[in-house]
Amino acid sequence: MVNYRCMMVPSRMVNTNRNRVIVWNHPSHPMIKVNVDGALKATSRESGVGVILRDYWGSSLGGEFFHLSRASTEEVEAKDVLEGVKLAKRHNLVDVVIESECKNVID
């Protein structure tokens, strides 16, 4: 049996005069960060999910993108966290930090 160590953290955002900027922070060694984000087109409810794995140096270890249809914002964000966990598992990663900007999913 494999023991996983997983932690969910919110994305750190910095507000500038005009834009909201999301700042990427390195995970501590030997953790791998799984960044996830979803996007939703309000008019058609079409959506997409993006996942990327990065090591403590910031190097990409892999990533994926999925199209979804007819989903709410929270469903899209929950799906991207799930896909992030699946991607980490396929890469046999056991020490991961999952970062998402959706507070309702993290909580």
How much is the pLDDT for 79? Answer: 86
The number of folded domains in the chain is: 1
pLDDT for 3 beyond 50: no
Average pLDDT over residues 47-63: 90
The residue range of the domain holding 55 is 5-106
Q: What's the whole-model pTM score?
A: 0.74
Confidence of residue 69 (pLDDT cuts 50, 70, 90): confident
Q: Domain holding 45: CATH number? A: 3.30.420.10
Query: Any residues with CB less than 8 A from the CB of 12 and at least 6 apart, and which?
Result: 22, 23, 25
Distances (CA, A) of 58 to 9, 31, 54, 73: 17, 11, 5, 28
Q: How far apart are CA 56 and CA 49, in angstroms?
A: 23
82, amino acid identity: L
